[in-house]
Amino acid sequence: MARELPPTAGLPLRLTDLWPGRAAFAERVAQWLGVDPLQLECSGTAAMVVALRAMHRLRPQRDEVIVPAWTCPLVALAIHRAGLKPRLCDLTPNHFDMDAAQLGALAGERTLAIVPTHLAGRIADVNLVLDVAHRVGAYVLEDAAQALGAQQDGRSVGLLGDAGFFSLAVGKGLTLFEGGLLLTRDPVLRDAFAVSHDATIRPDARMDWQRALELIGYTLAYRPSLLSLAYGRPLRKALAANDPVAAVGDDFGPDIPLHTVSPWRQAVGSRALKRLPAFLDATRTQALARVARLCRIPGVTVFDDAPRQRGVWPFLLLTLPSEAARDDALRSLWTAGVGVSRLFIHALPDYAYLRGIVPDTPLPNARDFAARSLTISNSLWLDEATFASICTVLERAAGA
Ligand SMILES: *Cc1c(COP(=O)(O)O)cnc(C)c1O
């Protein structure tokens, strides 16, 4: 079978990670990050539901949550599930950060929380959001789903605002197949998160079995010789059916599982965690060289760390000069098994299943970013020759 590379650099699991056992996974991650206790949830989405419900109990007169208009659709579903209303902020031109002027105009006395989002392991402008949030009395909840291990000024993301969450889903670095971690530096919020967890989350033996089997399946199939079965074939089928939302796995249903994480999956994660620092170092070295190479292609914008930031590198996020150029590059790269893909297909109002959940407002910059962006896997299986051939395609597409 043909080699197939994953779209992101997930830490591969080993068979020996799967031995029976139990471990205090969240405590070990907290120790590694050098942060206060973390709260383990069954997904990043579940972590967001638990956090928003807790914030709403503390400030019940506020019911709106401001998010970037180009983000994971699960974010809108989590807000809805928490009984709150999403408000969409357009992006800064050619950037994934929220537009400062629009953010200032959207925020007000009904704003419960603002969600700066650290996409692709890059670090969002949290200070801008803090200024706006504190002026109106809202919380800042950092979406660090794609940024476990990222730091600014030597401190973990999630500590810059009032609270933050990480995702442990497949494809986001360290994985329990699904999982999430909640982080806050505020003792009042930490207690409120624990109360919210107890009120919302139940054990579920059926989900424990399902996730255990999925995690074993991931351990076996996450390798270039087998990924074509689990990832490549469904991707090509969805693209042939003209369904890019399904191709990138953005086709979420309204059901959000809310259950505990079994001790065994925590043991698996704890064993894999020991290899994560070295893995992040290796992916960082590879990424920095490749970002430098991509920067030399006229018309291509690659997202990098600013001074005092040390992000993580699951994949490289870039934009091309136009939608036509981006689509031209994807025509040969997306189905080639080389780890090139797209992140979120649409701005949030353009997902059919979010109609009625998010407001439809003009969002020119978010729609433009969705139309011109693509991603390159930073998997260590993506070798130099293949990366060079990707650059050649991008050069031709950007120059046309
Ligand atoms: C994946 C993701 C989420 C949701 O996390 P899950 O663990 O998949 O529920 C939220 N926000 C962003 C930006 C994500 O990429």
pLDDT tens for the chain, residues 1 to 400: 689 999 999 999 999 999 999 999 999 999 999 998 999 999 999 999 999 999 999 999 999 999 999 999 999 999 999 999 999 999 999 999 999 999 999 999 999 999 999 999 999 999 999 999 999 999 999 999 999 999 999 999 999 999 999 999 998 999 999 999 999 999 999 999 999 999 999 999 999 999 999 999 999 999 999 999 889 999 999 999 999 999 998 889 888 999 999 999 999 999 999 999 999 999 999 999 999 999 999 999 999 999 999 999 999 999 999 999 999 999 999 999 999 999 999 999 999 999 999 999 999 999 999 999 999 999 999 999 999 999 999 999 999 7
β-strand 315-319 against 301-302: which pairing, if any? antiparallel
DSSP state of 117: B
Q: Does any ligand 1 atom lie closer than 6 A to the CB of residue 45?
A: yes
Its pTM stands at: 0.97
Ligand 1 near 117 CB (within 6 A): yes
Instruction: Please indicate, yes or no, if residue 127 is contained in any of the structural domains.
Output: no
Q: For strand 163-167 and strand 180-184, is the pairing parallel, antiparallel, or unpaired?
A: antiparallel
- d(CA 67, CA 139) in angstroms, rounded, equals 12
Closest CA to 342 of 280, 250, 222, 254: 250
Cα angle 253, 259, 272; round to 5: 100
- How many Å lie between the centroid of ligand 1 and the Cα of residue 81? 15
Rounded to 5°, the CA angle 223-249-275 comes to: 40
Identify the CA nearest to 62 among candidates 48, 49, 52.
Answer: 52
Q: Does some domain include residue 70? A: no
Q: Which residues pair with 111 in a beta bridge?
A: 64
Q: How far apart are CA 116 and CA 97, in angstroms?
A: 7
CATH number at residue 382: 3.90.1150.10
Q: Which is the closest atom of ligand 1 to the Cα of 179?
A: 7
d(CA 122, CA 224): 26
Residue to substitute in 52, 72, 214, 256 for testing ligand 1 pocket (most ligand atoms within 8 angstroms of CB): 72
Is the Cβ–Cβ distance between 267 and 261 less than 8 Å? no
Enclosing domain of residue 308: 275-399
Residue 174 lies inside a defined structural domain of this protein: no
* Sheet strands side by side (includes 163-167): 39-41, 180-184, 163-167, 139-143, 111-114, 64-68, 85-89
Distance CA 151, CA 371 (A): 29
User: What is the number of structural domains in the chain?
Assistant: 1
**Residue 236 maps to a domain:** no
> Is 374 among the domain residues?
yes
**Residue 387, Cα to own-chain centre: how many angstroms?**
23
Distance (Å, whole) CA 230 – CA 226: 7
Give a yes or no: residue 232 inside a domain.
no
Is the CB–ligand 1 distance for residue 111 below 6 Å?
Answer: no
User: Would 76 be classed as within a structural domain?
Assistant: no
- Measured from the CB, is residue 294 less than 6 Å from ligand 1? no
- Is the C-beta atom of 44 inside 6 A of ligand 1? yes
CA 367, CA 260: separation in Å to the nearest integer?
A: 36
Do 315 and 376 meet the contact criterion of CB atoms below 8 Å apart?
yes
Residue 342 belongs to a domain: yes
